[in-house]
Amino acid sequence: MNSVHTNSIKNIHKLSIAPMMDCTDKHFRMIMRKISSEALLYTEMIVAQSLVYTNTKEKLLDFNNEEHPISIQFGGDNPQILKEAARMAQDWGYDEINFNVGCPSPRVCSGNFGASLMRDPKKVAKCIESLKNSCSLPVTIKHRIGVDDDDSFRYLNNFVRDIANAGADRFTVHARKAILKGLNPKQNRTIPPLKYDIVKKLKKLNPELLIEINGGFHNIDESVKALSDFDGVMIGRSVYKYPLRWSEIDQKVYGINTKPKSASDIIFSLIPYIEKHLNNGGKSWDICKHLINLVESIPKAKVWRNQISTKSIKKELDIEYLLKLTSRLEEMGY
């Protein structure tokens, strides 16, 4: 169980790293925390029912103290189960709870949560009320601008007003609608057009609400510009694929006078963490599958990634070998 921090909604997180399935596990979050001390980190989406009824609660809830501030994202549609999940999240030391009403996965939507739940504002409001009444943590929501034919601005605005009245502290709005019939989750991240103007209008009509924009941001400068219109910016696939391109988050977004870290700086700083993971029976690939994304756009980057990947997958990578390869990066100025 982790110590409770107060780095919450009251401090308005200007930039956050989106919850992404099979990506934002605790190892990737540790890498990101080395890149930015300030950005809000998210867990992968956790199905509330699975958490409440599983025997592996610790595995689902576990995170490192260094990860604060961190938000746990829940999926579900049962207020009673969400109530229990919220209590667990608070007891475990999370800083916030986020409710997912934006995931377009058929598997998720078949369980009547994710983006499909956006069609039922009353149920979403009951879920938010249940989360709020069960803990003292900020409760936020992530959603789309619409779902299938329910995509008018009036529908979106009414949805947000209903959820605000239920107590939601912040709205993270993916500026695309979800198309549940005919598009898979990957296509839903690219094919429905981005409509930032819709989210701008939403913020303008609801200035008292904290509204964060999500979708299509590829660099820090774009994010900083968006902060003139929104209370926060959430970054997804770009930061996962190219984490080092975001090395100036603290300087450009939060105004902290600190030197950006190189790939070798980050890897060297993670050595004790990786060593502890291996000593506890963990696999090197658990961490290295994320670590390899740090090295790109430099001479022989592909060779370096292949060496790390091959050794990790074959379970042959040890700390000495990792230090050797990282030293080569350092010698090259990376």
Catalytic positions, written as ranges: 103
Question: Cβ(23)–Cβ(239) under 8 Å?
Answer: no
Token pair for 222: 């774009």
The three-point CA angle 156-90-133 to 5° equals: 55
State the angle between helix axes of 153-166 and 196-205 in degrees (0 to 180), rounded to the nearest 10.
50
State the residue for tokens 């030391």. Answer: 93
DSSP state for residue 207 in the 8-state scheme: T
| Residue 203, phi then psi, degrees to nearest 5 | -65, -40
Measured between alpha carbons, how far is 164 from 247 in angstroms, rounded to an integer? 34
State which H helix or E strand residue 226 sits in: helix 220-226
